[in-house]
Amino acid sequence: MGTYPDETLDKIIEKQIKRWQVDQKKKYKKPIRPVITISRLPGANASKIAKQLSKDLKIDAFDQEIIEEIAKNTKASKKVIASLDEQDISIVKEWLAFLSSERQVWPYEYIEQLIRVISAIGAHGHAVILGRGASYILPKEVCLRVLVVAPMEKRIQNVVDAYSVSADEAKRNVMRTESDRRAFIRRYFHADMMDPMNYDLVINTENCSVPVATGIITEAFNNRNWYNFSIDKMKR
């Protein structure tokens, strides 16, 4: 995983907060601003799909690396959380209370920060979030939860093509990363990452190109009824 120097991270956050501030000044008629969360098996081309969704839908994209860096940086986390208006703060508090009672998340400092950061991003809305348990943190009523998969052989070949490594090295990387991701979700969210019932949409990219996968997700996102959401309904 790459790292972000503090200066670069600050600039990224400042730029993002400015976009959020512009959105907050608009008069939204819709009760929520939904997001797309993407869980994925390594090598299944989910990052390419997330980038294309961001471009096509004109929404913000947050990958695993930037979310991790923000969550680990106390100053950065506070900036993101402080960007919320009073209404969004209230929503996030409701989400956190619900998440605590529903999933009984372990109270580790990093996980707590991670949850707050992703909740803040979710409250702002209009985003695609790649990885870091976002599908298990945000209420299912406010996000389209997508799982991107592919057979092992296909994923190994994708890694070989993307990083010019040997098939053996690619296989080791894919297997290790997959094990780490599944363990992360199991440990902190008490869930099976590969259970299809945890998602709204599962896409196998073995014979599905990035544009086709993006189109399927976009269609599902645009045609879902987002306007019946309420905290009370979420608690039922």
Per-residue pLDDT of the chain (236 residues; tens, 9 = 90+): 344 455 565 666 666 566 655 665 554 444 557 899 999 999 999 999 999 999 999 988 887 666 666 666 556 555 555 544 445 555 555 555 555 555 544 556 667 778 878 888 888 888 899 988 889 888 888 899 999 999 999 999 999 999 999 999 999 999 999 999 999 899 888 899 999 999 999 999 999 999 999 999 999 999 887 755 544 444 43
Strand order in the sheet with 60-62: 60-62, 127-130, 35-40, 143-149, 201-204
Element (H, E) at 81: helix 74-82
Query: Beta strand 35-40 with 143-149: parallel, antiparallel or unpaired?
Result: parallel
DSSP code at position 61: E
Mean pLDDT of the chain: 78
Residue 225 lies in a domain: yes
Q: What is the pLDDT of residue 230?
A: 47
Per the structure, the complete domain to which residue 43 belongs is given by: 33-235
* Residues 40, 5: Cα–Cα separation, whole Å: 27
Query: Beta strand 60-62 with 201-204: parallel, antiparallel or unpaired?
Result: unpaired
Residue 7 lies in a domain: no
Residues present in the chain in total: 236
Residue 161 lies in a domain: yes
pLDDT digits (tens, 9 = 90+) for 161-175: 999 999 999 999 999
* Residues 43, 162: Cα–Cα separation, whole Å: 9
CATH, residue 92: 3.40.50.300
On whether the CB atoms of residues 232 and 139 are closer than 8 A, the answer is: no
Residue 2 lies in a domain: no
Residue 195 lies in a domain: yes
- pTM > 0.85: yes or no: no
Cβ-based burial of 62 (10 A; exposed 0-12, middle 13-18, buried ≥19): buried
> Domain count of the chain?
1
Residue 185 lies in a domain: yes
Residue 182 lies in a domain: yes
On whether the CB atoms of residues 136 and 185 are closer than 8 A, the answer is: yes
Other CB atoms within 10 A of residue 103 CB: 16
Number of H helices, E strands in the chain: 11, 5
pLDDT digits (tens, 9 = 90+) for 64-93: 666 666 666 556 555 555 544 445 555 555
Beta strands in 92-190 (DSSP E): 127-130, 143-149
Residue 16 lies in a domain: no
Which tokens is 65 given?
């690396």
* Residues 196, 146: Cα–Cα separation, whole Å: 9
Which tokens is 231 given?
């905290």
Query: Beta strand 60-62 with 35-40: parallel, antiparallel or unpaired?
Result: unpaired
Q: Distance of CA 121 to CAs 7, 17, 106, 137, 152, Å?
A: 21, 10, 21, 11, 32
Could you tell me which residues come within 8 angstroms of residue 23 by beta carbon, excluding any fewer than 6 positions away? 33, 124, 126
